[in-house]
Amino acid sequence: MKIAIASGKGGTGKTTLSTNLAAYLAEKQEVVLVDLDVEEPNSGLFIKAELLREEEKYKMIPQWNPDTCILCGNCQEVCNFHAVLKLGEQIMVFPELCHSCYACSELCPTNSLPMVPQKMGELKHFNSGTLSFIESRLEIGQEQAVPLIRQTNKYVEECFSEQVIKLFDSPPGTSCPVIEATKDADFIILVTEPTPFGLHDLTLAVETMRELKKNFGVVINRHGIGNDEVEKYCSAENIPLLARIPNDRQIAELYSRGELLYKKIPGVKEQLDLLIHHIEGLESAGER
Amino acid sequence: MKIAFTTKGAKWDAQMDTRFGRAQFILLYDDSTDSFTSIDNSAVENVAHGAGPQTAQKLFDLKPNVLITGNGPGGNAATVLTKAGLKIYIGAGDMTVRQAYEAYKQGELKAF
């Protein structure tokens, strides 16, 4: 079972929910939590585990060889991202714009643009008993999160069997990195806050998940602030409201110290139970 | 000397475009012949990535001596423009092309 935790708006509590849900589920079964917010991974602040493995991750970009190039300009014609430009007597490659599609390289008549690896980030694999934690971090200056998210997903796929519950802490927003982080999930939990801003971005996230034809539900975090428009929206749209995590000063205090909530706040544990109950219902429905 | 402007229209009294990569037009003024040409750059609107380097490439081919623009080019475009060896002046985003040219002549624009 693969569950992605996403949101439209940033800062709604994706990581809070991901880490608490992962640790709580791991009390009974094997779980892997994957931080796919590679531009700013922070699940690791809440997970105490031992580092098992560290890998450098690379993307392939073309490198110009001026000695064999005949300056035909074919490379810039075929590049959809303007990552290769012919400027007078030279070819310039912009690695940040390159999507590693190989078109310029493969279609170069003189093989003057061989693909070479460029480091884009690092993956770390941690473990603590039944809880595994994978975190990928993009290098400073790298602009594309998608290739690293894709490679991280591949790593998880290769390392963990079908039986292991997989939780994916996704990036905020609704753009390409979010699509990449959620497109293979069996279920998406959209975390929002009950404010006009929260509702606005939730509707964008809902549209995205519907476009992807995903099964999803909503968790309201900081329940008690704002208004009840999110609840009204969910009921009007027939979106299951899975849990309501209360707005509570003690939660903020624990969070600020990097501690998990459910062990100390019974209200949070109750809400996680509701969420897990829903997920287990999906699982057994899937098995039938 | 050839001077390029990023603009929102093809006329001398058009507003400057503050954006570089996604500028609607590039106007080219040659003060030695007092001639004026405009290049429609609006197709760049449909480009999701790499608008900056693409517009910079156009300038590379036009070979102006000076570029007058608003906010200034981003990193990728600046790399290309540096190769083209032209001087860049910024801060003319709120002016008309005519005003920007006058300001440039008076030395009132900031070098990028």
Residues of A in contact with B54 (CB under 8 A): 82, 85
Residues 6+ apart with CB under 8 A from A281: none
pLDDT category, B46, cuts 50, 70, 90?
Answer: confident
pLDDT category, B85, cuts 50, 70, 90?
Answer: confident
Sign of CA dihedral A140, A141, A147, A149: positive
Instruction: Decide if A88 and B53 are in contact by the 8 Å CB cutoff.
Output: no
Residues 6+ apart with CB under 8 A from A69: A91, A110, A112
Does B47 contact A at CB distance below 8 Å?
A: yes
Nearest residue in chain A measured CA to CA from B82: A87
**Residue found by looking up tokens 């602030």 in the block:** A225
Backbone angle region of B107, left / alpha / beta, with phi > 0 → left and psi within -120 to 50 → alpha: left
The answer to whether the beta carbons of residues B51 and B44 sit under 8 Å apart is yes
* Type of residue at B89: Y
Last residue of one domain, picked from the residues A50, A79, A113 = A113
The answer to whether the beta carbons of residues A217 and A242 sit under 8 Å apart is yes
User: Which runs of consecutive H residues, i.e. helices, occur in chain B?
Assistant: 51-62, 75-84, 97-105
The answer to whether the beta carbons of residues B56 and B81 sit under 8 Å apart is yes
Q: Which residues pair with B3 in a beta bridge?
A: B29, B66
Give the CATH number of the domain where residue A85 resides.
3.30.70.20
Give the CATH number of the domain where residue A174 resides.
3.40.50.300
Instruction: Decide if B84 and A87 are in contact by the 8 Å CB cutoff.
Output: yes
Report CA-CA distances (Å) from B37 to B8, B18, B86: 14, 19, 18
Residues 6+ apart with CB under 8 A from A267: A245, A246, A248
Average pLDDT, chain B: 93
Q: What is the pLDDT of residues A93-146, one digit of tens each?
A: 999 889 999 999 999 999 999 999 999 999 999 999 999 999 999 999 888 999
Evaluate whether ipTM surpasses 0.95. Answer: no
Whether B17 has a pLDDT exceeding 80, the answer reads yes
Instruction: Decide if B76 and A88 are in contact by the 8 Å CB cutoff.
Output: no
Distance CA A251, CA A265 (A): 8
Distance CA B28, CA B5 (A): 6
Residues of B in contact with A90 (CB under 8 A): 83
Mean pLDDT of B82-109: 94
Q: How far is CA A212 from the centre of its chain?
A: 15
Last residue of one domain, picked from the residues A48, A80, A113 = A113
Last residue of one domain, picked from the residues A75, A92, A113 = A113
Torsion angle, alpha carbons of B101, B106, B108, B112, to 10: 60
Size of interface A-B (CB pairs under 8 A): 35
Residue among A259, A223, A215, A222 at smallest CA distance from A240: A215
Backbone angle region of A101, left / alpha / beta, with phi > 0 → left and psi within -120 to 50 → alpha: alpha
Residue A205 shares a structural domain with residue A109: no
Distance CA B92, CA B100 (A): 6
Residue A161 shares a structural domain with residue A36: yes
Distance CA A47, CA A54 (A): 17
Residue A155 shares a structural domain with residue A81: no
Tokens representing residue A267 in the block = 């209200």
Residue A257 shares a structural domain with residue A185: yes
So what's the pLDDT on residue A287?
58
Residue A131 shares a structural domain with residue A202: yes
Residue A13 shares a structural domain with residue A49: yes
Whether A88 has a pLDDT exceeding 90, the answer reads no
**Residue found by looking up tokens 């093989």 in the block:** A111
| Separation in Å, CA of A3 to nearest CA in chain B | 30
Q: Is A236 helix (H, G, I), strand (E, B) or coil?
A: helix
Report CA-CA distances (Å) from A190 to A57, A83, A277, B77: 29, 34, 16, 38
Nearest residue in chain B measured CA to CA from A81: B49
Burial of A54 (0-12, 13-18, 19+ CB in 10 A): exposed
Residues of A in contact with B53 (CB under 8 A): 82, 85, 92, 94, 97
Backbone angle region of B45, left / alpha / beta, with phi > 0 → left and psi within -120 to 50 → alpha: alpha
Mean pLDDT of A29-42: 97
| Separation in Å, CA of A154 to nearest CA in chain B | 26
Residue A262 shares a structural domain with residue A283: yes
What angle, 0 to 180 degrees and rounded to 10, lies between the N-to-C axes of helices B75-84 and B51-62? Answer: 10
* Type of residue at B92: A
Residue A126 shares a structural domain with residue A105: no
Distance CA B108, CA B91 (A): 9
Interface test with chain B among A76, A94, A101, A104, by most B beta carbons within 10 Å? A94
Mean pLDDT of A175-192: 97
Residue A202 shares a structural domain with residue A109: no
Tokens representing residue A156 in the block = 């998880």
At A193, which helix (H) or strand (E)? none
Tell which B residues from 2 to 41 touch A, by Cβ distance under 8 Å: none
Residues of B in contact with A88 (CB under 8 A): 60
Residue A145 shares a structural domain with residue A237: yes
pLDDT category, A285, cuts 50, 70, 90?
Answer: confident
Residue A208 shares a structural domain with residue A162: yes
Q: Which residues pair with A223 in a beta bridge?
A: A225, A246
Residue A69 shares a structural domain with residue A194: no
Tokens representing residue A66 in the block = 């001026």
Instruction: Decide if A94 and B60 are in contact by the 8 Å CB cutoff.
Output: no
Give me the domain span that covers residue A29: 2-58+122-287
Structural domains present in chain B: 2-111 (3.30.420.130)
Domain count, chain A: 2
